[in-house]
Amino acid sequence: MKSVRRPVKAGAGGLAVAALGVVFGDIGTSPLYSLQTVFSIDGGVVQATPEDVYGVISLMFWAVTIVVSVKYVSILMRADNDGEGGVMALAALAQRLYAAKAGKAGLLLLIGIVGVSLFYGDSLITPAISVLSAVEGLRIAIPGVDHLVVPIAAVILTGLFAFQKYGTGHVGKFFGPVMLLWFVVIAAAGVPMIIQDPGVLAGLSPSYAVVFFVAHPVIAFVAMGAVVLVITGAEALYADMGHFGRPPIRRAWFFVVFPALVLNYLGQAALILKDPESRANPFFLLFPDWARLPVVILATVATVIASQAVISGAFSLTRQAVQLGLLPPLTVRHTSEKEGGQIYMPAVNTLLFLGVMTVMLVFRSSEALATAYGVSVTGALVVDTLLLLLVARRLWGWGPVKIGLAAVVFGGLELTFLSANLSKVLHGGWVPLLVAFAVILVMTTWRKGRQLVIAGRIVKEGSLSEFVDAVRDKNVLRVPGIAIFLHPNRDSTPLALRANLERNKVLHKRVIVVTVVIENIPHVHPKEAFEYNDLGYSDDGIDHVRVRFGFSDTPNIPRALRRACSLGVLDLRAKQIDAASYFVSRGAIRPTRAPGMVAWRKALFVGLAQNAANPAARFALPPSRTVTMGSDIDI
């Protein structure tokens, strides 16, 4: 099945600048806290000696090179699912490639669920640590204001989450230029120190990383737990590919972001070698006194942009999960009339805000938050690598040698990062893991509960073909108008349709049963979105239409049916669809002692179902012409 890509109208340079504002916010602000965290971890076991400094810089440089430049930018971005990226799209692509093997497809979906769950754990910490690390620059610029850091960060984050309901379109056009300025500033800050100590460039050699591990294996292993902070946000490079395409992201990375990060990290390293005391906050101490306050302001804006990218990513990922049946339907509000990807999800926004504020108020500093960071990041990297190895075999025909080499280089490095971060579990690392576990529990419970509900509904609904035959035999009274019934399949009868006949003893002259199918591709071409069936009779006015959407599409049923009319799929006019009545089958779900799920998971599923968005809102049905009918379902 083909998919449709949204047309790109901006120039190459404009797209690259725009990508700076959306894609690179997280990884671009990591210099604020990464090197500082390395030299403060475990009470300062990493020393400000040339051996340790060169070893750390070498680890950082090669971590960014291997994981970001090679794995994500050069390889993984080629594994797009019809132009879309991210762990959900990658898992869907893997499912398509292994569609013939049902067991493996289920395992791939589970791997995707784990990856998404780890992203949510990461999403709670990224805004808190990013904004806190920027505001902490006030301690350097204006000594004696330590007590204001957390309140200021709390106000900034509150404003950021409160603004979400208005959409990012109004300020999005400024994100790219601001981040371009940010990368220019941090690159310029590192250059003078490199000129003063050009020997620091030697730290780019991989030999120093090897020597560091050989001479101090325990210390180097501990340092790896903080070195991973330099690659936070690497997933965004892949996840946001659908917005900009591969070339703009690659250009922005190799020509702007990567050089700026390397220059800044080298400058911080040279500063620490010159003044070991500067390791307490090497980023802001790179700047002269007069520039520190403006840089604090710029850093705060940059971290807000980084946080915005994470929040927007959470909205998009949640919508994809809902479309794939992994989460209950949630209210989605579109904040732009032109861009379908700009959405606002109130429930997700509220939960993220409460989680971010909680972790910030509990940990109260970027240094403390760094102990909780890394576990979910490295876990997500490992998930992406595992899916990449599976996809590469089928998509590009990689043989055992290539697969093995990629597994050793990427998997080996990332498993080392993950192992180093496991030591943080008791010191804050449990937070993202707990969040990830909760998300996995909710997703698997919802998926299993939906299967039980579908089984229960089939028993009550009966065969649709038999229902149609019965209607013809009984000569049922037909009233004027068009009735559209939403139903998940073509085999059974919608409960609302059966209830309407049994209670009201009539049917509309035209009945259309609509089944919505969410495909494992981002977008479905309009001409391939419909499948019509007259259910055996061409003269009874009862038809079935299967409507396909991609997991990144907006499932607007009235708009889709109007398109079906214009394409000739339905022998109706668009104006008739605009006057049709919609019927939704929805009854209460009652947990029983029947097998299928344990009692507490059934209770959780019922709670999720009760708080799910109304199907009428999810499918953009007109409230004044929508009726909800049905009967209770036992599970």
Domain residue ranges of the chain, discontinuous segments joined by +: 28-425, 453-634
What pLDDT score does 8 carry?
A: 42
Instruction: Answer yes or no: is pLDDT of 11 > 70.
Output: no
For tokens 């989450």, name the residue: 161
pLDDT, tens only, 182-197: 999 999 999 999 999 9
Q: How far is CA 242 from the centre of its chain?
A: 12
Task: Please compute the mean of the pLDDT values over residues 249-274 and round it to a whole number.
Answer: 94
What pLDDT score does 61 carry?
A: 96
For residue 590, the surrounding DSSP H or E stretch is strand 589-590
- Position 297 confidence tier, pLDDT thresholds 50, 70, 90: very high
Transcribe 560-584 into DSSP letters. HHHHHHHTTSSSS-HHHHHT-EEEE
pLDDT, tens only, 387-416: 999 889 888 989 999 999 999 999 999 999
For tokens 């920027």, name the residue: 134
Distance CA 251, CA 189 (A): 22
Q: Pick the range with the lowest mean pLDDT from 81-85, 174-178, 297-301, 458-462.
A: 81-85
What pLDDT score does 31 carry?
A: 93
Task: Please compute the mean of the pLDDT values over residues 120-126 and round it to a whole number.
Answer: 84
Instruction: Answer yes or no: is pLDDT of 243 > 70.
Output: no
For tokens 């909205």, name the residue: 315
Structure tokens at 120: 């949510």
pLDDT, tens only, 587-607: 678 888 888 888 899 999 988
CATH superfamily of 28-425: Amino acid/polyamine transporter I (1.20.1740.10)
What pLDDT score does 333 carry?
A: 74
pLDDT, tens only, 490-547: 888 888 888 888 888 888 999 999 999 887 677 888 889 999 998 888 888 899 999 9
pTM more than 0.85: no
What pLDDT score does 630 carry?
A: 65
For tokens 């089984």, name the residue: 455
- Position 67 confidence tier, pLDDT thresholds 50, 70, 90: very high
- Position 80 confidence tier, pLDDT thresholds 50, 70, 90: confident
Instruction: Answer yes or no: is pLDDT of 117 > 80.
Output: yes
Task: Please compute the mean of the pLDDT values over residues 62-67 and round it to a whole number.
Answer: 95
3-state secondary structure of 550: strand
Percent of the chain with pLDDT over 70: 93
Instruction: Answer yes or no: is pLDDT of 5 > 50.
Output: no
Burial class (CB in 10 A: 0-12, 13-18, 19+), 347: middle
